Amino acid sequence: MAILLASLAPVFIILFYIYFRDKYDKEPLGLLIKALLLGIAIVVPVIFVERMLMTMMPQFSKVAAAAYHAFVVAGSTEELFKFLVLYLLVWKNPNFNEKFDGIVYAVFVSLGFAGVENVLYVLDGGMQTALTRAITAVPAHAIFGITMGYYLGIAHMYKELKGKYLARALLVPILLHGIYDFILMVEIGWLLLLFVPYVIVLYIMGMKKMKVLSDTSIFKPLKEED
């Protein structure tokens, strides 16, 4: 039970934090729970697709194999499924009426997925794994969600930016996720030294994107940021 609580604690801490950062118009709890459950539900198809992609992997060098696994198998598959369920759930929902809402819904979907993933890793690796992933993998998934929701929120509220920002809502999280996994999977000493700085950069990027949208309600203009 202690292991299970340790694996889920960072997920719920981040979810509560994101919920309370939505300061203008809280999202309905029923819809947030649905977003969380959909994030959990995509674990099954993600595992299926990832295993299929692994069987299709050509004979690569070590670096190329790590890149394929990081950017194609893990990054693209996981972020694509998150994006699809997020878009289908909220794009036409009347509760999606502020830019910051995109971040809220995206993080709930992302951490639904991350919660299941974290439980599986922690049950296998124990309390040390729980502590490590609480400050790395779980927040990273949240930041991938923040990034996706940031661009989705702008695309939703500014129709002239829809195409460009919908593409970014999918592609930028794939890139960030792929880099995160590649650093760990390639097992090159000097590159591993970049892991902690990269996680710090992710934290800074996530907080900055939340601040941009949190400080701009539906009545305030957006200062566009790439």
Lookup: tokens for 119 = 């439980």
Model pLDDT for residues 17-69, shown as the tens digit of each residue? 999 988 778 899 999 999 999 999 999 999 999 999 999 888 888 999 999 99
Q: What is the reported pLDDT for 18?
A: 95
CB 225 within 8 A of CB 212: yes
Model pLDDT for residues 122-146, shown as the tens digit of each residue? 888 888 888 999 999 999 999 999 9
> d(Cα 13, Cα 1) in Å, to the nearest integer?
18
Lookup: tokens for 202 = 């992710």
Q: What is the DSSP secondary structure assignment for residue 26, as one 8-state letter?
A: P
Q: What is the reported pLDDT for 220?
A: 52
- Per this entry, what is the length of the chain? 226
For the entire predicted model, the pTM comes to 0.91
Q: What is the reported pLDDT for 223?
A: 55
Model pLDDT for residues 64-103, shown as the tens digit of each residue? 999 999 999 999 999 999 999 999 999 999 999 899 999 9
Lookup: tokens for 75 = 């990054």
Sign for the pseudo-dihedral over CA of 220, 224, 225, 226: positive
